[in-house]
Amino acid sequence: MEIPERKLIKILRNFEKKDINVLRGIGDDCAIVKLSGKPYALCQDAIVEEIHFSLSYMSPYQIGKKAIYANIADILSMGAMPLYYQVTLGIPERIMSDVIRGIYRGMSYVAKEFGLSLLGGDTVSTLNDFFIDVSMVGEVVWGDYKGRNQAKENDLIGVTGFLGESAYGLKIMKEGIKKKRGIKRFVKRYLNPRPPFEIWMEIMKNDITNAMMDVSDGLLLDLERMMEESGKCGVIYYEKLPIPEILKKEKLDDYALWGGEDYQFLFTFPRNKLELINILKSKGLIISVIGEVTSGRGIKVIKDGKEVKYNKVGYEHFSRE
């Protein structure tokens, strides 16, 4: 069975209940709820062996880190700071307890890095699949949360870091490409997808963004989701995209458009904040202004001054690849 995320969100929204304390419900990186009058971000994100990770090219330690980073990226992208997490492990008989310990060590490393506390969770037997499902609670610290439904007409569109690195890293590992110069960072990006917390912090402290989300399923698919939730159109300029040179050279620039698991932040911001963005860039933070928000719906990619049509080949959460 294949349910695309968008369809699933529609099914889920049928079961949503009106609740004045739910500031943001189904359809974003996290839900935002008021607890004792203050807004908190809650999310839950799972990874499954041979779908999202493989013990054949990742250590248990790396897998544990990745499970937590994915959830941290969701919490940060709502403008919240991660606080607590719980973990369910689904474990088939073939998995030995040193793998489990390695995974907890990886999770624990990231938890320390971000000041997170493990609260518990569950451990269940499975017949075949090995999975890790993490739920996380974060606290909205500065003013309003950042939803993907907050993009405003005339906003500019920004993205942190580079795009397609993680997908290219996975390709390198899967295909065993011989050692070339400068490819190590791509493998590292796939294996250690730490969200760019320091850039995020500057963006938050300077109150720059309207809408924000993490790029986990590829730029185009994620931007399209943001525009759908905001009821706007996103226009991006191919020449402005932070595509690593090597991808362009190898004609793999599609990886930057559709490649999953970059865990960079995609955001929109009012034009009067452009100067602040430029100051951050001058300090060495990698941020690219890639387009703008207009009226209408959907997304447009402009290349050499003309609109380019892309077939959707993106990486949907709920698909095998």
* Cβ atoms of residues 290 and 237 within 8 Å: yes
User: Which residues between 79 and 118 bind a copy of itself (CB under 8 A)?
Assistant: 83-84, 86-88, 90-97, 100-101, 104-105, 107-108, 111-112, 116-118
Q: Is 54 in the site for a copy of itself (CB under 8 A)?
A: no
How many DSSP H helices and E strands does the chain contain? 10, 13
Report the nearest approach of a copy of itself to the CB of residue 104 (Å): 5
127 vs 305, beta carbon nearer a copy of itself? 127
Q: Which of 19, 198, 239, 250 touches a copy of itself (CB under 8 A)?
A: 19
Q: Is 126 in the site for a copy of itself (CB under 8 A)?
A: yes
Report the nearest approach of a copy of itself to the CB of residue 182 (Å): 33
Instruction: Give the x-and-dash track for 258-297 against a copy of itself (CB under 8 A).
Output: ----------------------------------------
Q: Is 35 in the site for a copy of itself (CB under 8 A)?
A: yes
Listed ranges 9-17, 159-167, 181-189, 304-312: which one lies at the site for a copy of itself (CB under 8 A):
9-17
Give whole-number Cα distances, 54 to 20, 58, 59, 64, 190, in Å: 42, 6, 9, 12, 12
Q: Which of 6, 46, 237, 276 touches a copy of itself (CB under 8 A)?
A: 46
Report the nearest approach of a copy of itself to the CB of residue 61 (Å): 13
Q: Is 5 in the site for a copy of itself (CB under 8 A)?
A: yes
Among 54, 57, 118, CA closest to 82: 118
Distance CA(241)–CA(214), nearest Å, equals 16
Q: Which of 27, 158, 196, 218 touches a copy of itself (CB under 8 A)?
A: 27
251 burial type by CB count under 10 A (0-12 exposed, 13-18 middle, 19+ buried): exposed
**What is the biggest distance separating any 2 CA atoms in the chain, rounded to whole angstroms?**
57
Give whole-number Cα distances, 113 to 82, 106, 266, 307, in Å: 11, 11, 23, 43
Q: Is 170 in the site for a copy of itself (CB under 8 A)?
A: no
Give whole-number Cα distances, 260 to 110, 171, 233, in Å: 21, 12, 22
Q: Is 16 in the site for a copy of itself (CB under 8 A)?
A: yes
Residue 248 one-letter amino acid: K
